[in-house]
Amino acid sequence: MTSEMQPNAGSAQIYDRGYRPYDGDRTGVSGAVKSVFRASIERALGLRRKFRFKIVPVLTIVIAYIPALIFMGLGVLFGSEVAGDVGAAEYADYFGLISIAVVLFTAFVGPELLCPDRQSGLFGMYLASPLNKWNYLAAKVGALTLLLSLVSLFPVLFLLIGYSFTGQGPDGFGEVAKTVGQIIAAGLVVSIFYTLIGMAISTLTKRQGFASAGIVMVLIASGVFAGILTEATNAPDWVRAFDLISLPTDIAGRIFDEQIVQFENVSTSMSVATLFGVMALCAAIIVGGYQRMEVTK
């Protein structure tokens, strides 16, 4: 071997820095929860991921805002009278108008936040930090609720702003504040309801595709069965309240006005009781599923 082919032994260097303790901020449990919350939002929206992961969330968000843009455009182009006729349904019915976007977003984002963590073993790594199962779930619930607000709550607030600029908004500070409060209350009902539905079904399987399909099937099937039972049989009218797509929209309408309802001949108390009953069942499925879940750290 020639000298040119021999490695240069003198070029290797060893840096012995010794043991160095961590000297950064120790944020504890709150910092870990914030990290999971932030990472969940980034994952759901496809941030720092390939473009194909951004298509569904971005598309559903855009769909939720399109009707508001149309109503605003009509108001600008044709004046408040014509636009008023088009947007007569106003804020309450807008929740029903974008319900498909909310369902699709739930079916994509809910499993995306839970299933990969269990399938890849990342869930166990999370629990090796200061987190426990309940901190972890709290971060996921918060992230999914905020994300669903992007397609349920904020589009209606955007609609209110659009109506105000075209002269169709509520008159006076008191009416504006009342309308904003109603929109926030209705939007949170819709967001939390779908959050629990999405997380409950995602708790039952590690397979993201199965969970997404299950969410869509459960929501659609509930409306089909409720309709069949009330129209083809002598089932009481309150059975209609088990249409899980229309249920949160019905509650949203009642928040604005007792007369704006999806379910005729169903009392407000029955509709609210059904909503909380479904949410309680979903919460029990989530808590029970994670309580029994064995984790290898």
Q: What is the pLDDT of residue 137?
A: 94
CA torsion angle 169 62 219 108 (round to 10): -140
Q: In Å, how far are 41, 108, 123, 211, 256 from 64, measured between CA atoms? A: 18, 15, 32, 23, 20
| 169-203 per-residue burial string, b: 16 or more CB within 10 A, e: under 16 | bbeeeeeeeebeebbeebbbbbbbbbbbbbbbbbb
User: What tokens were used for 30?
Assistant: 């709150």
Q: Which residues contact 213 (CB under 8 A, 6 or more apart)?
A: 107
User: What tokens were used for 183?
Assistant: 């929109």
pLDDT in tens, the chain (297 residues): 444 455 555 567 666 566 666 566 666 778 888 989 999 999 999 888 888 888 988 999 999 999 888 877 776 676 655 555 433 357 888 898 899 999 999 999 999 999 999 988 888 888 887 888 999 999 999 999 999 999 999 999 888 888 777 777 777 888 888 889 999 999 999 999 999 999 999 999 999 999 999 999 999 999 999 888 888 777 888 888 999 999 999 999 899 877 778 888 889 999 999 999 999 999 999 999 999 887 765
CA 4 to chain centre: 64
Q: Can you give the pTM of this predicted structure? A: 0.86
Q: Vertex 54, ends 51 and 58: CA angle to 5°?
A: 140
